Amino acid sequence: MLQPKRTKHRKVFKGKMKGNSQRGAQLVFGAYGLKSLDSKWITARQIEAARIAATRYMKREGQMWIRIFPDKPITKKPLEVRMGKGKGGVEYYAAVVKPGRIMFEIDGIPFDIAQEALRLAAQKLPVRTKFVVRRDLQE
């Protein structure tokens, strides 16, 4: 699973997820992509599940790029622990995804296979998504 090799700070603030994605909103590598329509934290496990679902359907043909990285440590306190006594330990890592962010890109496979592969990947993610095609692509 994806997680940072090292971080500047072990624990971070929650932060706000307002507005649209400022970067990563255009297709850069592939011909087809999966764009987010919601704001959410996407865990490393969800990214991995989506990647596996898409690559299985593609039968490992073509190429896939993951455009998000889970670099935000999410902490959690153990069950039945009283208030106070500091912040909990790091439970997992998540990627902050805002509307407009391209999460996955695919190239080197036909349109219909790419569309179905990204649909299967989208089922594993907690956000509403949209299938996008590069503007200069001829079919």
- Residue bearing tokens 């039945």: 80
CA–CA separation, 114 and 107 (whole Å): 8
The chain-wide mean pLDDT, for the chain, equals: 95
Domain 32-77+88-133 in CATH 3.90.1170.10: yes
- Asked if residue 122 lies in contact with residue 134, where contact means CB atoms within 8 angstroms, the answer is no
Residue 36 tokens, joined: 């987010």
- 139: pLDDT confidence band, cut at 50, 70 and 90? low
Task: Write the pLDDT tens digit of every residue in 26-51.
Answer: 999 999 999 999 999 999 999 999 99
This model's pTM is above 0.85: yes
Task: Write the pLDDT tens digit of every residue in 59-74.
Answer: 989 999 999 999 999 9
DSSP string of the chain, one letter each residue: ----S--S-SS-------S--SSS-S--S-SEEEEE-S-EEEEHHHHHHHHHHHHHHTTT-SEEEE-----EEEEEPPTT--S-SS--EEEEEEEEE-TT-EEEEEESS-HHHHHHHHHHHHHTSSS-EEEEE-TT---
- 138: pLDDT confidence band, cut at 50, 70 and 90? low
CA–CA separation, 111 and 24 (whole Å): 22
* Residue whose C-alpha is closest to residue 37's, from 98, 94, 95, 122: 98
Q: Which residues pair with 35 in a beta bridge?
A: 102, 130
